[in-house]
Structure 1
Amino acid sequence: MMNSSRPDARRNAGPYLYGREASAVAQVLESGQYGHTGVTEEFERRIAAFLGVDDAVAVTSGTAALHTALLVAGVGPGDEVIVPSMTFCATVQAILAVGATPRFIEINPVTLCVDHQLVLEAVTADTAAVIPVLFGGRAVNLGPIHCELEERGIAVIEDAAHAFGSYDGTRHVGATGATLTCFSFGPIKNLTCGQGGVVIPRTSEQADMIRRLRLLGVTQSQTERATTTTYQVDSFGLRYQLSAINAAIGLAQLDHFDSTVETRRRLWCIYRDALGPLEGVTLVDVGPQTAVPHLCQVRVHPRDQVFQEMRSQGIGVGVHYPPNHLQPAFAPWRRALPVTEKAGQEVLSLPFHQHLTEDDIAHVVAVLGRAIETVRAERHIGRLA
């Protein structure tokens, strides 16, 4: 079959570079200082200033951010962590990495996020933390129960991997009072470092603990260690420092982030308007007025056949995400989650990145419409046979 897809519709997601990233990396390489340097610290200051928070601690990835946040919150063996099953497996792996167990909960069928009532219903005597996942960029407001959770010793650790730049009310995600907030700056995120992440602490004590953890438990900074014959290790730690190379990419991206926000919101709204006339297709609303959309997803049935038909036409559709409670590795914590399982069978991610044009989006939606018609016709013929 001839592939008539537009080039930028062939991939589901991808980074968008503004042109300064390469020169910023070149400056770091020319300096001969590639590890954690003042460039990384400048990136942390810029992130904190953007979000309107006191501090931000950069680490190697979003997964590292979650792992570190759980350690700082004191979560460990014997503890349960409430988490939606509809998330990338990294969220669950971070829970297992500290020796805790996931308690999978349902999602709101409209937003694909958790809400406060679902969280409260899942709390047990073993609950040590809740990880609300800000799916697709939508903020999750646990304000109605936040104080209650903290009074019971339950940490709220936001998985905001999709939501850098999004707002919760009038404040940026990360500045809204969670115990800790974790961002990812991987290759396809709204802001990329190539690979990286950030933890937003609420207190200076948390910030100090994160900085020790990310440097193998060493108390002295790299600058301080250069002026002494020894150093001190006073706790368990990991090698989670963000390199100056990655931080330089992030700094260049931050210079243009307002443009990123405008473009991603505009593209999402173009999709919304184009998808409106299609029957049997429901757009997952991320709330673009306050969110910086990370995904553009629809719910369609039968999803798997539509997926295959669109891929055969060269359209880079994807699935975010297969429910984790159905994964073999997480089978010990499997429970019935019918809302999540239905979403897991219907959600389809359309190509969404900043290289798309309005014509690309029109093409994707046209192929989606034809794919639905083709699949349904084939199923009708099959029933008659």
Structure 2
Amino acid sequence: MTTTVRPDAGRNASPYLYGEEAAEVARVLEAGQYGHTDVTEEFERRIASFLGVSDAVAVMSGTAALHTALLAAEVGPGHEVVVPSMTFCATVQAILAVGATPVFVDVDPATLCVTDPLIMDAVTDHTRAVMPVLFGGRAIDFSRIRRELAARDIAIVEDAAHAFGSPNGTRRVGATGDLTCFSFGPIKNLTCGQGGILIPRTRAEADTIRRIRLLGVVQSQAQRAQTTSYQVEGFGLRYQMSGINAAIGLAQLDHFEKAETTRRILWRVYRRALAGLDGVTLVDVDPDRSVPHLCQVLIPHRDEVHAQMKARGIGVGVHYPPNHLQPAFAQWRRDLPATEQVGREVLTLPFHQHLTENDIDQVVTALGQALKTVGAASCARS
């Protein structure tokens, strides 16, 4: 018998709205605040307060945050950036956008996160930054290598696209002294529709980031309105976050405690349900050290199981095909055995706040059925 699932279980990921976002956007539109405005600045202040940091700079996307962070850290041609291959391609594209060279490294298959030894083994005299990815929302402690990297003038640029709100010790990710980049895309734990934010390390770095996101212009919009000219002091891009997107984010932030509680509960439900399936390894995000963004398993015959789940109406996915195997990045390919093994086995199960415990039970039941079907077919072929 094939399991029948609710439509929500058929979606791999889905934005979750609390009912106030539309009214907040309407207020911005009625005020004519379409671009970067005081609403954006209020969002920055609220995010900084939530994270317990002195400043936060909003930009138009998570990719823009990564690109701007590398520019602010003065990463450019002739520099290397150590980065795990197991990430979304945006991480690598940001490195290429500043003219630097990606140096791909392996990950711990238990967490899909990079480790201190993997980072340090890849560092050379040309390394200007390391870009760890907080995969699935899992916080990573870099305290043991932070001082050594700083002594070599190597920046830690955290790709925390999955990890907004995740605890890191007694603080949250973003408050530990690294240059941290968050994404607020449609399916993130907190969404602005589209957007991102950077947590700078110093006041000077915050000023640099603000200049870069406004085409290199020094004066703010309010300051320019009072003068007949403005100054362009360096390279920049139009990377500001609009008041429309910030309004969505402000409404979401009011309910974030509910989001983190719900996501931890759902991930633990998955952990209990998957415990009875042979041959399935759950990727550990450690809900005590994360606000889980993904629920992933490592399974044999992944492609066949993926097809079986899709045929059952289950919204499974693959996060992510390894970047060092992508055609666009082939010149930097190297042997990464753990990443390549994970790349063949990883399957992302539906995970979002619309799910119920019953939905999860149905997804796991369907996964068990798919595994049996694929296993029987494999035995028959052999």
What aligned pairs does 1:260-275 form with structure 2 within 5 A after superposition? Answer: 260-275=259-274
TM-score, structure 2 as length reference: 0.99
- Distance in 2 (CA, whole Å) between partners of 1:120 and 1:357 is 42
TM-score, structure 1 as length reference: 0.98
Q: State the AA in 2 paired with 1:247.
A: A
Match of 2:219 in 1: 220
- Distance in 2 (CA, whole Å) between partners of 1:124 and 1:239 is 33
Matched, 1:23 2:23: yes
Matched, 1:38 2:38: yes
Match of 1:363 in 2: 362
- Distance in 1 (CA, whole Å) between partners of 2:158 and 2:344 is 26
Shift of 1:3: 8.3
Shift of 1:190: 0.1
Match of 1:56 in 2: 56
What aligned pairs does 1:202-351 form with structure 2 within 5 A after superposition? Answer: 202-351=201-350
CA contact (8 A) 2:3 2:366 kept: no
CA contact (8 A) 1:3 1:314 kept: no
- Distance in 2 (CA, whole Å) between partners of 1:165 and 1:32 is 31
Shift of 1:320: 0.2
- Distance in 1 (CA, whole Å) between partners of 2:216 and 2:278 is 56
Q: State the AA in 2 paired with 1:85.
A: S
Name stretches of at least 5 consecutive residues in structure 2 with no aligned partner.
none
- Distance in 2 (CA, whole Å) between partners of 1:270 and 1:286 is 14
Q: State the AA in 1 paired with 2:195.
A: G
- Distance in 2 (CA, whole Å) between partners of 1:238 and 1:337 is 35
Root-mean-square deviation (CA, aligned residues, Å) is: 1.0
Q: Which deviations, in whole Å up to 9, do the C-alpha atoms of 1:226-280 show, x marking residues without a partner? A: 1111111111100000000000000000000000000000000000000001000
Q: State the AA in 2 paired with 1:58.
A: A
CA contact (8 A) 1:17 1:253 kept: yes
Name stretches of at least 5 consecutive residues in structure 1 with no aligned partner.
none
Q: Which deviations, in whole Å up to 9, do the C-alpha atoms of 1:184-242 show, x marking residues without a partner? A: 00000000000000000010000000000000011111011111111111111000000
CA contact (8 A) 1:300 1:346 kept: yes
CA contact (8 A) 2:317 2:348 kept: yes
Q: State the AA in 1 paired with 2:235.
A: F
Match of 2:152 in 1: 152
Determine what percentage of the aligned residue pairs are the same residue. Answer: 70
Match of 1:88 in 2: 88
- Distance in 1 (CA, whole Å) between partners of 2:6 and 2:307 is 17
Cα 1:54–1:350 change in 2 (3 A) is same
Match of 1:14 in 2: 14
What aligned pairs does 1:92-111 form with structure 2 within 5 A after superposition? Answer: 92-111=92-111
- Distance in 2 (CA, whole Å) between partners of 1:83 and 1:207 is 24
- Distance in 2 (CA, whole Å) between partners of 1:252 and 1:138 is 25
Match of 2:74 in 1: 74
- Please list every run of at least 4 consecutive aligned residues from structure 1 whose deviation after the TM superposition is greater than 2 angstroms: 1-5
Shift of 1:2: 8.3
Q: Which deviations, in whole Å up to 9, do the C-alpha atoms of 1:114-153 show, x marking residues without a partner? A: 1111111111111110001000000111110110001001
- Distance in 2 (CA, whole Å) between partners of 1:82 and 1:347 is 23
Alignment: residue pair count: 382
Shift of 1:38: 0.5
- Tell me, what secondary structure is at the counterpart of 2:198? strand
- Distance in 1 (CA, whole Å) between partners of 2:325 and 2:28 is 44
- Distance in 2 (CA, whole Å) between partners of 1:62 and 1:3 is 37
